[in-house]
A and B are shown apart, each in its own frame.
Chain A
Amino acid sequence: MEQKYPIKKVNIICAKGAIEDVYATLVMGNGAVMEGIETNLFFTFFGLDAIVKSRMDKLHTGVVGNAALRLPGGFRMPTLLGVIPGMEAFTSWMMKKQMGQLDIPPVSEFLDLITAGGGKIYACKLGMDMFKFRKEDLSEHVSEVLTIGEFYEKAGGEGSQIIFT
């Protein structure tokens, strides 16, 4: 369908590193690439875990203070259960298993798909400095480490949107 003001470019910022935060960025980013929309993904602060090679496929979901988390069967998970050793690892494993069944790929493969379609992956310089990451720590799909100013320059253009997940 022809639209009067189509979205031509999306710039998605990912600042958190839990499974659901990172996948919000990756799913929306990949979806944009699939629609032929120019796509920039910018990872910063805890979101950097999604592009750090040693961490990207080992993300977790928080089980303490996560009000929406439910047990199998639909009952709310009491926060106190979250402190049981292994609960976070188990929940995270369950999430990944469910996503796998829906053909949602692991983070590293998702970055493959996004960059294969021309999507660009960027890391935040300030976040890198804070967490003492080096360029070598990052996935080879990361094209550049940017300052905030450089990110805004790349985000410019008609029909461009900035999304903070």
Chain B
Amino acid sequence: MAQKNYAGITVDVNDEGYFTNPSQWTKEIGAEIAKEEGITLTDQHYAIIDFLRKRHLAGEALSIRSINHSGVLDVKTFYQLFPGAPLKRATKIAGIPKPVSCI
């Protein structure tokens, strides 16, 4: 297992850079991963990251459709906040595993 250092803390990640232990994540770490991804986090980013983390920790699958039910933002805004592959990038920044859903 690989390790990485973010905001002065050493965390466990897999070979794609996704956290293997989501409890090691902090907001500051999230901001540093985002910087690597070329994204500056705003309150809106943090709100959806919080939703993704809660949903993951509750054992629920993450899908692009579930973003519309987040009550935080809609799918269109999600694509704008995390351009390209939003679900993959957002989960990486949120310190949770890469989603296995096809939807």
Contact = CB atoms under 8 A, between A and B. Distances in A.
Interface residues of B, number: 20
Nearest to B83: A36
A69 interface: no
Contact of A116 (B66, B79, B85, B102): B79
Contacts of A34: 64, 85-88
24 contacts: A1-B16, A27-B102, A34-B64, A34-B85, A34-B86, A34-B87, A34-B88, A35-B88, A36-B83, A36-B85, A103-B65, A103-B66, A103-B101, A105-B65, A105-B103, A112-B75, A113-B65, A116-B74, A116-B75, A116-B76, A117-B64, A117-B75, A117-B79, A118-B79
B61 A103 contact: yes
B60 to A, nearest CB: 10
Interface string B5-16: 000000000001
Contacts of B86: 34, 117
Given A27-B102, A36-B83, A103-B61, 11 more contacts: A27-B103, A30-B64, A30-B103, A31-B102, A35-B88, A36-B84, A36-B85, A103-B103, A105-B65, A116-B74, A118-B79
Interface of B: 16, 61, 63-66, 68, 74-76, 79, 83-88, 101-103
A31 B88 CA distance: 12
Contacts, number: 43
Contacts of B101: 103
Interface of A: 1, 27, 30-31, 34-36, 102-105, 109, 112-113, 116-118
Given A27-B102, A116-B76, A116-B79, A103 B63 contact: yes
Contacts of A112: 75
